[in-house]
Amino acid sequence: MKLYLFLALLLITSSCGHPSYEAGEKVEADILEVVDGDTIKVDMEKGGRETIRLLLVDAPETIHPDKPVQPYGAEASAFAKEYLPENKNVTIEIDTSIRDDYDRFLAYIWVDGEMFNEKVIEKGLARVAYIIEPNTRYVDRLQQTEEKAREENRGIWSEEGYVTDEGFNPDAVQSGSCESPDIKGNHSSSGDYIYHTPDSPYYEATEAEEMFCSEEEAEKAGFRPVRQ
């Protein structure tokens, strides 16, 4: 009987998917990788590895499979990498519902008492978006921060017509981007952020995770040149 109960318990435990969380719960985590300005990979104290999608935040794209690198996307990624270095301890705060349709963990990230969701908006590197009930705990606060960034023409707000209700319109930006970026950015297996120019020895074999218009843009986003 004891063996049966043990096996039954083991089966129940192994069949469970994600751990359960409560609305408003805060969980400690360590940063694993910054994917882009609004998506972060972490190792959570409860639940293990998760891909966090910042709630109420939309940063310009850098690695979208169907879109080119958008203006200020590299800057948003670089800011996130600086603010959230690898192994940095952070606090993940849950709002109400936890996952999106892509199984990403929806949350706010707190760093040394400051909300990263708010910081990237404050810098003018993201807009308030995806306001979907019931995950709206900080929407008023973030909208106030966004309004200040807009009034001061920071980042994305310095380009008239770039920010729209549907996202970002790269055609409105006259500088700071190019039609055909040809410098490939790649995250190596060792965790390095490396860029390859067309004359780099491994350029053709490199799978681009981000694309840049210039070496300066790549380095600003936290990438280094490949070692020859």
Active site includes 104? yes
Distance CA 124, CA 66 (A): 24
Active site includes 61? yes
Active site includes 224? no
Q: Which of 50, 53, 146, 210 is catalytic?
A: 53
Q: Which of 25, 33, 104, 141 is catalytic?
A: 104
Q: Which of 22, 33, 49, 61 is catalytic?
A: 61
Residue among 71, 6, 115, 75 nearest 222 (CA): 75
DSSP the chain: -HHHHHHHHHHHHHH--SPP--TT-EEEEEEEEEEETTEEEEEETTTEEEEEEETTEEPPPSS-TTSPPPTTHHHHHHHHHHHS-TT-EEEEE--S--B-TT-PEEEEEEETTEEHHHHHHHTTS-EE----TT--TTHHHHHHHHHHHHHTT-GGGGSTTTEETTEE-GGG--SS--SS--EEEEE-TTS-EEEE-TTSTTTTTPPPSEEESSHHHHHHTT-EEPP-
Q: Which residues are CB-neighbours of 119 under 8 A, at least 6 positions away?
A: 79, 83, 111
* Active-site annotation, residues: 53, 61, 104
